[in-house]
Amino acid sequence: MIVLVNPRATRPGNRRFPLSVMAVGAALPEGTRWEILDENLPDTDVLAEVARLVNGPEPVRLIALTAMPGPQLVSAVRLSKAIRRAHPAIPIVWGGNFGSLYPAPVLDAPYVDWLVRGQGEQTFLDLLGVLEGKVDPKSVAGLAFREADGRHWIGPERTWLGPGELPEPPYHKIAVGEYLHPTFLGRRSGVYQASIGCPYACSFCGVISVYGRKEKVQPPERTARHLAWLARHHGMDSVHFYDNNFFLNEAHAREVATALAPLGLAWWCEARVDALCRFSPDTWGRLRASGLKMVFCGAESGSDETLARMSKGITTAQVEEVAARTREHGIVPEFSFVFGDPDEPAREIDNTLAFIRRLKRINPHMELISYFYTPTPQRAGTYGDVDPLSGTPPDLDEWVTPEWVGWMTHENPHVPWLDRALKTRVEDFELVLKSRFPSVHDRLTRPWGKLAGRLLALRRWEAAHYADPALLRQVRRLARRAPDDRQAYGHLRAEATA
């Protein structure tokens, strides 16, 4: 028996398919018994379920946990410590992005025996051979571990496969209906990933630190086949694609539109601004007709100079063009911005806030996603004069403190160039904007609160006056059906939850 654990990453109401552990399980040899334990499901006691399996008729060979930076890391550490105390003889394996980015603290943790870095399906299979004494662990690409003298062995990176080269998703191993929830897109929204990696080189992004500048995409027909099955058998009516870059080029976008159009699904994806600028009006129309409701783009800054320094490869003029194109075709643009440039943070914040106002004039339906700049390790070089690896914790116990969770989620990174006053300026602006223009994702604010927010923020927005919006803050607090969950970031942010 192999136990695959998806530690808690968000509130149960925000749970999504545990794609990473599903992929590992699907790659296991035929006849292997395995189970997924998902701590994000309501009333799931992972430790009790582990005990049940350990005391069952079939020996548990190993317990594997995935760990993304942020709240899931906190859960992975807690669970791993408890499992080691209760079942000290069972090997514990970690996978996921955190260990791929920061292997040293994971390998120093006494409750982690093996670390699978990068794409884990084949490495995990080879690890089974290691545990059976058939394979030399130092021969396994992607595998890392502590040697007897405490030194770290980190194997070479594994050449990875595209999703189309991997086994079919094992939806039969999960309760699919438990993961379909209302979102802006529909009443039974699910998630899917059709590609791995990203070919671009944005200097602040952690994706290239794990995968490099590579992307592999499965044929759109395979994607459509899986989604059609979910729609037919489980009533899924909409999908968020988790791809870091959904469209390779215009020809690929047209193939996607053709494959998805018959399904009748509403969908969300992430795309490059420069790629979208190259799409013809006909391609935009096909995407809209196929169900594209919202597209997420990394706009990042209101300064062309800063965008060049980030190696972003886009311009502010291109961002404005995408805002106009999406308005023309009835697609909601979701633009993310990274606040807190290390060189001139105050000037950069002012430039970007002014640019966001300009985008709102071009497309009033534009949605804002904001992050504070947090350095991440890169394959080569640094961002400006800031060393991305400087000062990161040497052990997992420090990584899971509130200070470092805030750093990992970009919510409250403690960096020397971004003081509290600058962070407050951004937060106040965002509160005024989202009060004046309530997000389509926001299902937690009561209708009266949205109306009051729109009215109270009207004059502030027109006057570009954002400082100390105390009354708006009070209205938001009183009108929320649930308090803000600052750990529910990215696709799991609380606004998307009923």
pLDDT digits (tens, 9 = 90+) for 208-228: 555 555 768 899 999 999 999
Which of 21-35, 170-184, 188-202 shows the lowest mean pLDDT across its residues? 188-202
Q: Is the pLDDT at 203 greater than 70, yes or no?
A: no
- Token pair for 162: 């595209």
pLDDT digits (tens, 9 = 90+) for 45-93: 999 999 999 999 999 999 999 999 999 999 999 999 999 999 999 999 9
Residue 207 has pLDDT above 70, yes or no: no
Q: How far is the C-alpha of 450 from the C-alpha of 131, rounded, in Å? A: 57
Domains parsed from the chain with CATH numbers: 2-146 (3.40.50.280), 163-496 (3.80.30.20)
For 339-366, what is the mean pLDDT?
A: 94
Task: Say what the pLDDT of residue 376 is.
Answer: 60
- Euclidean distance between CA atoms 461 and 114, whole angstroms: 53
Tell me: pLDDT of 169 over 70.
yes
Where is pLDDT greater, at 342 or 123? 123
**Predicted confidence (pLDDT) at residue 379 exceeds the cutoff of 50:** no
Q: Extract the runs of DSSP E, i.e. beta strands, from 255-366.
A: 266-270, 292-300, 332-339
DSSP for 113-134, written as a single string: -EEE-SS-HHHHHHHHHHHTTS
- Whether the predicted pLDDT of 411 surpasses 50: yes
Phi, psi of 167 (to 5 degrees): -65, 165
Residue 254 has pLDDT above 90, yes or no: yes
Q: Which of 220-234, 245-259, 316-330, 477-491 has the lowest mean pLDDT?
A: 477-491
Residue showing tokens 């970031």? 489
Which of 152, 162, 71, 75 is CA-nearest to residue 114? 152
The encoded tokens of residue 55 equal 């005391």
Q: Which of 120, 137, 312, 298 is nearest to 210 (CA)?
A: 120
Q: Which of 45-54, 96-105, 180-189, 193-202 has the lowest mean pLDDT?
A: 193-202
- Is 329 in contact with 285 (CB distance < 8 Å)? yes
Helix ranges, 143-213 (H) = 207-211
Among the ranges given (40-49, 215-224, 280-289, 405-414), the one the predictor scored with the smallest mean pLDDT: 405-414
- Residue 218, classed as helix, strand or coil, is coil
Region 459-469 average pLDDT: 96
Cα–Cα dist 155/117, whole Å = 9
Residue 297 has pLDDT above 70, yes or no: yes
Say whether 435 sits in a helix, a strand or coil.
helix
Mean pLDDT of the residues in the chain: 89
Mean pLDDT value of segment 468-475: 95
- What SS3 class is residue 317? helix
pLDDT of residue 231: 98
- Compute the distance between CA of residue 356 and CA of residue 371 in angstroms, rounded to an integer: 14
Instruction: DSSP for 344-372, please give it.
Output: SHHHHHHHHHHHHHHHHHH-TT-EEEEEE
Residue of 57 and 13 predicted with greater confidence:
57
Question: Is the per-residue pLDDT at 424 higher than 60?
Answer: yes
Task: Summarize the confidence of residues 249-266 as an average pLDDT.
Answer: 97
Higher pLDDT: 243 or 362? It is 362
Res 388 pLDDT > 50: no
pLDDT in tens, 312-334: 889 999 999 999 999 999 999 99
Those residues whose C-beta lies under 8 Å from the C-beta of residue 159, and which sit 6 or more positions away, are: 141
Interior/surface letters 280-312, b for 16+ CB within 10 angstroms, e for the rest: eeebbebbbebbbbbbbbbbbbbbeebbebbeb
Among the ranges given (202-206, 338-342, 455-459), the one the predictor scored with the smallest mean pLDDT: 202-206
What's the pLDDT at 391?
Answer: 66
Q: How confident is the model at residue 482 (pLDDT cuts 50, 70, 90)?
A: confident
Given this model, what pLDDT does residue 406 score? 81
Calculate what percentage of the chain has a pLDDT beyond 90: 74
Question: What is the average pLDDT across 274-293?
Answer: 97
Give per-residue pLDDT as tens, 426-458: 999 999 999 999 999 888 899 999 999 999 999
What pLDDT sits at residue 443?
85
Mean pLDDT of 183-192: 94
Rounded Cα–Cα distance for residues 315 and 306 (Å): 10
